[in-house]
Amino acid sequence: MSETTTPVASPDRPDGRHAGLMISGVTKRFGDFVALDGVDLEAPAGTTLALCGINGAGKTTLLRCCTGQTRPDKGRITVAGVDVWPKPKHALGVVGVVPDKNYLIERLLVRESLENYGLFHGVALRDVSERVTDLMDLLDFADEENTLVKDVSLGTEKKIAIAAALLPAPKVLVLDEPLGAIDAAVTHTIEETLRDYTSLGGTVIVSSHLMDVVERLCDRVAIIHHGHVIAAGEMTEFTHNGTRRFQDVFLELVDIKPQARRLQWLASSFR
């Protein structure tokens, strides 16, 4: 685990494969607020990188920069060897995204929404229906295919977003808090699917506050704090080969002490 990141290499790796995600010197300001300050990161093909940090650390801003939603002020980002800026549409052809906010067309049925998404992102007409059926069966929401998107539960909404991200068979997946409100059985299925995806050479970048999921799923971690990467490395380095919980290490690194103070007014209800 390093508390200073190393320079980012060229997109052309010695093994002949493109890096899944490479970020070099990315800076983003919103007025006087510095959301990202010279971020350098790499997630090689075949790995899962977790972005961890407290609320407001800069995680979502970084993911938006990586997916063509927010233009950085400085720096370079490549996904699967493709420069995101200044032509984000080119990069979006190789990236699947679960964004922080719902982007689905709520007035469409679930199946219609997914099929439209697939066609819009270049999936051949002959393949769309089969892929949608496979994903709905895998993620256990086939019974809701004829429900309007606006009427589904939060968990199903998340599952639809994950299905949409996988549908075009992208080389890189960028997932912003993808597993909130999803039940344990489907969470397990998604984790296994993502492991299979990376074993094939895909790359996953996931932002999550669910530290147990991060520890199980991710082989690399970057901790972002106030727009800086304060530590990055292999998960085994953070957990000391499994002898420590990642959550405890994370809280130490961001210097947060969990609050244990009792709310006296709440306790008074039980006297």
Give me the residue spans of the domains in the chain.
1-94+171-271, 101-169
- The rounded distance, in Å, linking the Cα atoms of 265 and 186 is 39
Q: Tell me the CATH class for 1-94+171-271.
A: alpha beta
CB-facing half-sphere around the CA of 76: CA atoms within 13 A: 12
Q: Dihedrals φ, ψ of 93, to 5°?
A: -70, -15
pLDDT tens string for the chain (271 positions)? 655 433 333 444 445 455 799 999 999 999 999 999 999 999 999 999 999 999 999 999 999 999 999 999 999 999 999 999 988 988 888 999 999 887 788 899 999 999 999 999 999 999 999 999 999 999 999 899 999 999 999 999 999 999 999 999 999 999 999 998 899 999 999 999 999 999 999 999 999 999 999 999 999 999 999 999 999 999 999 999 989 999 999 999 998 877 777 788 888 888 7
Q: Output the pLDDT for position 118.
A: 94
Q: Which residues pair with 220 in a beta bridge?
A: 49, 234
Cis? peptide before 86, omega within 30° of 0:
yes
| Helix segments in 142-210, DSSP class H | 154-166, 184-199
